[in-house]
Structure 1
Amino acid sequence: MRRTDRKPSRKTAAALTAVLIGAGALTGPATAADRPADTSADTSADASARLDDGLALTPPMGFNNWNSTHCRPEFDEEMIKGVADIIVETGLKDAGYEYVNLDDCWALPERDADGKLVPDPERFPSGIAALADYVHAKGLKFGIYTSAGTMTCANDMPGALGHEYSDAQQFADWGVDYLKYDNCNNQGVDAIERYTTMRDALAATGRPIVYSICEWGQNDPWTWGADVGHLWRTTGDISDNWPSVLSIFEANVRLAEYAGPGHWNDPDMLEVGNGGMTATEYRSHFSLWSIMAAPLLIGTDLRVATDETIDILGNREVIAVDQDPLGRQATVVSSEGGRWVLTKKMSDGSRAVALFNASDTAQRIETTAAAAGLPEAPGYRMRDLWQHTTSHTAGTIAATVPAHGTALYRVRPDDGWAAYPPAVEVGATGIADAEAGTTSEVTASATNLGGTPARSVSLTITGPDGWDIQPTTATRAPRLRPGETLTTRWTLRIPEDTPPDTYEITVSATHRPSAHTTTTFTTHVLQPPPAGTSHISDLPWTREANGWGPVERDTSVGESAAGDGRPLTVGGTTYAKGLGAHAPSTVAFYAGERCTDLTAYVGVDDEVPESAGTVAFEVWADGTLLASTPTLTGADGPHPLTADVTGARHVELVVTDGGDGITSDHADWADATISCAA
């Protein structure tokens, strides 16, 4: 699926296929080979046996261009060749990435006279077979895309509905190793029937092709997908923002019982490196997908990827969790207050344990080896998969985890546990968002979780250049016995000339024998609005999240890239200033207890048909709902919204989907202003 706006209805009339063919509704000539006489869905044991083919015994790993390029001109054969080169050169191939997959927009809008798909000669002048040969020569595998409908999701190329057998053979002749089969323009034909037909068509080619069902989770594919494909999408499309990653994680994590070798839950491709999230959030994204045994398909253009992005994607210790041959998906131990604990059984008897903080503030998260599923033992070896350090614990697994962060460990009983240094948990309180020129008090701590003493323990706090961070109590202890804590206090002063932005503060503990633990926190340096009335689109934001693409300043929401929106227009009135959003959406900014009145005209942008798009708008301040609208549609026109934000420190503008799901929910905060004192 390309965007939630384009979901078709969920009609499931299996008999409609024959009607469509008879009426000529399916594009291109349909032959007897394309449609065998019996096209009914087969989910029997015999069907399951057809997928007993040794493919995808661990979650597929590779690359797909969609998240970084969509259908933009840079998607072409030179890009794909360049990505294949980089996968080899950077060591990502050796780390396990093997598929190089094309997504939508690789073909012309019309089939040829023989009903064959035609590669776009401008994008792929050498043809698809030659490109597949190039990828194969690198020791990699090649994948392609189409839809189980009459057109693909971008509506730019023919789908395979009615052409399954001929298209599958064409893919096999080109040397395709992986097929992503989407769900757009499906004409209401039963999902299981459509996807089963392509399964049989792929099998008929005799070529081993991994089969990815991209049905968006609409018909619970986890209940039937193992008989049909090797992996199935469990949700709608991912976006490069934190709310999207979090919502998809929460949907996919509950489906652990359905995953295993050769049949995987697919929470969609990776957004790591695309720029919409922090490094902490990208590490969480990668950690959560890996512990959920998800396919790992890189979604960023590796030709321009940073070293940090390559380091995240290439973390072999995390990849080993995803690729463990036992094939278990993590289960939830606990999730109270946004403090998630996940555990995954590994083939060597260890457990991968994730401590995931879904909340917006740092939190301490704790579990035990027993709760993670490990047997009772005097001690356990604990490997930190991001810091690449090994320590031991007497049984407690704990960390202070930054907002949206994940601590990921591999834990096992070990008779030689005492040979490793004790695990020391590092925590801090008081690191908070603040204005430039202010001073705050910070408390940092180090706790010995091991079964032997930690000696010569020392705590340090570091921040950006020029920040004044000084201890006010002792920062060292000669030893910490098991269970003991060293607590220190510090002052942190932010220079007055510090520009508004997000900054990192690192708390580290060192101890003997030769061990260290580091936790990185983020803080916003805040700038209150100027005196008078300001447009909210002109203010710095502390947080922005959007259901599709970024929130736009002074235009409607566009596609996936920033700056591609159109004039804000609600009910026939065009506004020069405002915010263009797409539900679910949040824009947060700092008011600094200086402001009083917030006003806006809100509604569904006129670019959406009146019959689509239902949203509701809310204004929150410091966790309290101050104002809201009823559910609005495109027929309602601009709706005035005001809120008294007197005394508020932080203000949030929120858009919900109106309670009916996300369908063309383009939401405008037109002429949104706030009045503040000096």
Structure 2
Amino acid sequence: MRALPSLRLHGLVLGVACAALVGAVQVAPAGAAEPAPASPLRLAAPDDGLALTPPMGFNNWNSTHCRPEFNEAMIKGVADLFVTKGLKDAGYEYINLDDCWALPQRDAAGKLVPDPVRFPNGIKAVADYVHAKGLKFGIYTSAGTKTCDRVGFPGGLNHEYSDARQFADWGVDYLKYDNCNHQGVDAKKRYTTMRDALKATGRPIVFSICEWGENRPWEWAADVGHLWRTTGDINDSWGSTLSIMKKNLPLHAYAGPGNWNDPDMLEVGNGGMTDTEYRTQFSMWSIMAAPLLIGTDLRKADDATFEILSNREVIAVDQDPLGRQGEVISSEAGRWVVVKELSDGSRAIALFNESDRPQRIETSATDAGLPRARDYRVRDLWAHSDASSAGTIAATVPAHGTVLLRVSPERRWESYPPAVELAPTGDWFARTDRPAEVSAKLTNHGRDKARAVSVRLSGPEGWDIRPTTPTRTGKLSSGITFTTGWKVKAPGGTRPGDYDLVLSAAYDSQAGKTRREHPVRVSVVVPPQPGVSYVSDMPWVSSSNGWGPVERDRSVGGSGARDGKTLTIGGQTYTKGLGVHAPSVVHLYLGGKCSTLRASVGLDDESGTRGTVAYEVWADDRKIAATGVVDNSMPAQPVTADVTGAHSVRLVVTDGGDAVAYDHADWADARLTC
């Protein structure tokens, strides 16, 4: 946690598995960190046997901040749930307090004083309760004169040995040491002093360095702490999660037992993202060998949250004793392949789709570093299913989703069904006035034939779904694709929006009968009105935004809805348009009825003098217009795009090369001629 200015603030080759800053108005930078060295490093870790795998546990900050509900009852309740919900058995062990646990002033002896309202029985009593559950206890302070909260509770600078002794006496097992109010004292000196103070207590305490990556701790802190933050604070949004992931991924060479890159806590369950996006965070944090610190109030968590957090197959990837962080082997057009070597010689492979639409992502077992073999076992860690592949690893991954696989050479390939990739193709739209055509592909990546193959599409009651092609075939040999199509019509009166259909396939093989299901999201749309229409007045298929929601006829403002101001670029105001924040996508259905898109684009004046972005217009799968990099010194730039015949158009804003902080971007006067 850091102080913030003014605000403080299923598919795999078998089917699709949807996987998925206390903030100020800005999102943490999204640009990738400087590349890590190409060859693996073996840095000297603390020789204390601590954090040999990434720490797992809970921290209250993301769900409570300093609100009154952060108290003794909450911490005890979470500890209870660790046991009753099986999280302890799954590997979670630390129950950590964050800021605001103390009074604003030390006592006359210079000691820290627990807040008697929040913790009436003191910190040691809470630690004892946690320990009695077979768990470990953590606490927070800052490597400065005050902590990061606006109130400014006592920090540890110049009190390191006294504070460390207090923590040890209370039974602390984990210290998160923040970076606020450091008075200009060198970071290495501040963190090394606290390391020495903790060692002097004689108590084993995991040391979490939280200096936000500002001094590149991965290069110097290997013998200082057990983990170090690589980024600013995360917040419960897709833009923040994505930007932090991109900064942490290049640092794979610095991670290993006793030393972990820390991209901040889990947001799973806090409500700002979809379950698909939360599965992505959990999958990617695990393949990055990141600490898994739950950031939601488990007393309020739903079943889906516990299902994600309790996935032991995914946790096993994070906790693998070899201690490797996953490495990016490809990333193109939002299609990421990240591979982690595991201690048994297998590979964890994450197929991650950054974009706002489903995309097919493919790699191979050998590209993932596995030896050449006749066949491979492919385990889907979210679907909990196995298949046999001849070497191709592929899936059509939902927007913002991740398919997480465990792949290893397999001699007994006939024991598993062939890896059959079931995937929708293109955008899936439906209308109420007439049928719309959709299609899907079934491809066999296994060595064995898939026999008696059938494909089916089903939807909610009242939907009219009729095949336009054969949906059965006698056999599907290795490497062969079977294409199917349907006409889909939504019932009259269906409101525009997203609806779930189910695409399923059944087939026989030497391993027996297999059935795979692939949830498919179809967008019910209405054709645009004839004439000229402002985009801000039209229904959208979907929208995604780096900070807060996309705003109609106002700037993006902060994280809330309708909290922006009049759209203003270079001092010129606009009454119509879209306010967005990079990275952003607005998707509109055209149905082949429109000819021209026009807009004036630029950074909104609320960005100040900072920020750079780039604008793109995509018609179906083609980029048809782009501005290049736009900064705050530039007046509004005209954009005109020919969208003739396009079924849909995407208005895209990307980072201009300096990360996404302050990237408040406007599509002013955006309008379509149809």
Deviates more, 1:448-457 or 1:551-560: 551-560
Question: Where does 1:168-187 land on structure 2 (aligned, <5 Å)?
Answer: 168-187=164-183
Decide whether the 8 Å contact of 2:552 with 2:579 is kept in 1. Answer: no
Report the equivalent of 1:283: 279
Which of 133, 141, 144 is 2:139 aligned to? Answer: 144
Equivalent residue of 1:310, what SS?
helix
Which amino acid in 2 is paired with 1:220?
A: R
Deviates more, 1:136-145 or 1:319-328: 136-145
Which amino acid in 2 is paired with 1:87?
A: F
Shift of 1:247: 2.5
Question: C-alpha separation between the residues in 2 aligned to 1:101 and 1:580?
Answer: 41
Question: Where does 1:250-265 land on structure 2 (aligned, <5 Å)?
Answer: 250-265=246-261
Shift of 1:582: 8.1
Report the equivalent of 1:446: 442
Equivalent residue of 1:335, what SS?
strand
Report the equivalent of 1:519: 518
Normalization by structure 1: what TM-score? 0.81
Report the equivalent of 2:199: 203
Report the equivalent of 1:590: 588
Question: C-alpha separation between the residues in 1 aligned to 2:649 and 2:240?
Answer: 23
In structure 2, do the counterparts of structure 1 residues 348 and 675 end up closer, same or farther at CA, with 3 Å as the change threshold?
A: closer
Report the equivalent of 1:100: 95
Decide whether the 8 Å contact of 2:583 with 2:660 is kept in 1. Answer: no
Question: C-alpha separation between the residues in 2 aligned to 1:331 and 1:628?
Answer: 30
Q: Are 1:487 and 2:483 an aligned pair?
A: yes
Shift of 1:96: 1.0
Decide whether the 8 Å contact of 1:628 with 1:641 is kept in 2. Answer: no
Normalization by structure 2: what TM-score? 0.82
Question: C-alpha separation between the residues in 2 aligned to 1:204 and 1:167?
Answer: 12
Decide whether the 8 Å contact of 1:621 with 1:645 is kept in 2. Answer: no
Report the equivalent of 1:410: 406
Question: C-alpha separation between the residues in 1 aligned to 2:535 and 2:578?
Answer: 13
Aligned-pair RMSD on alpha carbons?
3.7
Question: C-alpha separation between the residues in 1 aligned to 2:7 and 2:185?
Answer: 14
Question: Where does 1:545-584 land on structure 2 (aligned, <5 Å)?
Answer: 545-547=545-547, 549-550=548-549, 562=560, 583-584=581-582
Equivalent residue of 1:227, what SS?
coil
Which of 150, 153, 158 is 2:154 aligned to? Answer: 158
Report the equivalent of 2:77: 82
In structure 2, do the counterparts of structure 1 residues 550 and 164 end up closer, same or farther at CA, with 3 Å as the change threshold?
A: farther
Which amino acid in 2 is paired with 1:70?
A: H
Tell me how many residue pairs correspond in the alignment.
626
In structure 2, do the counterparts of structure 1 residues 180 and 335 end up closer, same or farther at CA, with 3 Å as the change threshold?
A: same
Question: Where does 1:652-663 land on structure 2 (aligned, <5 Å)?
Answer: 652=651, 654=653
Question: C-alpha separation between the residues in 2 aligned to 1:581 and 1:117?
Answer: 46
Q: For structure 2, which runs of at least 5 residues remain unmatched after alignment?
A: 9-42
Question: C-alpha separation between the residues in 2 aligned to 1:454 and 1:3?
Answer: 58
Question: C-alpha separation between the residues in 2 aligned to 1:544 and 1:48?
Answer: 42
Report the equivalent of 2:39: none
Decide whether the 8 Å contact of 2:276 with 2:400 is kept in 1. Answer: yes
Which of 352, 364, 367 is 2:348 aligned to? Answer: 352
Question: C-alpha separation between the residues in 2 aligned to 1:78 and 1:310?
Answer: 20
Report the equivalent of 1:309: 305
Shift of 1:128: 2.1
Question: C-alpha separation between the residues in 2 aligned to 1:4 and 1:662?
Answer: 16
Report the equivalent of 2:335: 339
Which amino acid in 2 is paired with 1:543?
A: S
Report the equivalent of 1:243: 239
Shift of 1:95: 0.9
Shift of 1:389: 1.0
Report the equivalent of 2:18: none
Q: Are 1:126 and 2:150 an aligned pair?
A: no
Decide whether the 8 Å contact of 2:147 with 2:155 is kept in 1. Answer: yes
Question: C-alpha separation between the residues in 1 aligned to 2:78 and 2:166?
Answer: 24
In structure 2, do the counterparts of structure 1 residues 490 and 211 end up closer, same or farther at CA, with 3 Å as the change threshold?
A: same
Which of 110, 113, 121 is 2:108 aligned to? Answer: 113
Question: C-alpha separation between the residues in 1 aligned to 2:477 and 2:568?
Answer: 65
Which amino acid in 2 is paired with 1:586?
A: S
Shift of 1:659: 5.8
Shift of 1:322: 0.8
In structure 2, do the counterparts of structure 1 residues 556 and 141 end up closer, same or farther at CA, with 3 Å as the change threshold?
A: farther
Which of 364, 370, 376 is 1:368 aligned to? Answer: 364
Decide whether the 8 Å contact of 2:2 with 2:179 is kept in 1. Answer: no
Decide whether the 8 Å contact of 2:51 with 2:258 is kept in 1. Answer: yes
Question: C-alpha separation between the residues in 2 aligned to 1:436 and 1:501?
Answer: 12
Question: C-alpha separation between the residues in 2 aligned to 1:461 and 1:230?
Answer: 50
In structure 2, do the counterparts of structure 1 residues 655 and 389 end up closer, same or farther at CA, with 3 Å as the change threshold?
A: closer
Question: C-alpha separation between the residues in 1 aligned to 2:585 and 2:395?
Answer: 29
Question: C-alpha separation between the residues in 2 aligned to 1:368 and 1:647?
Answer: 37
Report the equivalent of 2:428: 432
Which amino acid in 1 is paired with 2:543?
A: R
Shift of 1:206: 1.4
Equivalent residue of 1:282, what SS?
helix
Which of 59, 62, 68 is 1:67 aligned to? Answer: 62
Deviates more, 1:113-122 or 1:180-189: 113-122
Question: C-alpha separation between the residues in 2 aligned to 1:569 and 1:276?
Answer: 25
Shift of 1:311: 0.8
Shift of 1:316: 0.7
Report the equivalent of 1:192: 188
Question: C-alpha separation between the residues in 1 aligned to 2:142 and 2:193?
Answer: 13
Decide whether the 8 Å contact of 1:597 with 1:646 is kept in 2. Answer: no
Equivalent residue of 2:211, what SS?
coil
Equivalent residue of 1:56, what SS?
coil
Question: C-alpha separation between the residues in 1 aligned to 2:576 and 2:98?
Answer: 34
Which amino acid in 2 is paired with 1:326?
A: L
Decide whether the 8 Å contact of 2:602 with 2:631 is kept in 1. Answer: no
Which of 314, 320, 331 is 1:318 aligned to? Answer: 314
Q: For structure 1, which runs of at least 5 residues remain unmatched after alignment?
A: 9-46
Shift of 1:262: 0.8
Equivalent residue of 2:242, what SS?
helix
Shift of 1:309: 1.6
In structure 2, do the counterparts of structure 1 residues 401 and 192 end up closer, same or farther at CA, with 3 Å as the change threshold?
A: same
Question: C-alpha separation between the residues in 1 aligned to 2:658 and 2:129?
Answer: 46
Decide whether the 8 Å contact of 1:383 with 1:411 is kept in 2. Answer: yes
Question: C-alpha separation between the residues in 2 aligned to 1:506 and 1:160?
Answer: 56
Question: C-alpha separation between the residues in 1 aligned to 2:58 and 2:670?
Answer: 44
In structure 2, do the counterparts of structure 1 residues 356 and 675 end up closer, same or farther at CA, with 3 Å as the change threshold?
A: closer
Decide whether the 8 Å contact of 2:335 with 2:353 is kept in 1. Answer: yes
Question: C-alpha separation between the residues in 1 aligned to 2:188 and 2:222?
Answer: 11
Which amino acid in 2 is paired with 1:518?
A: E
Report the equivalent of 2:11: none
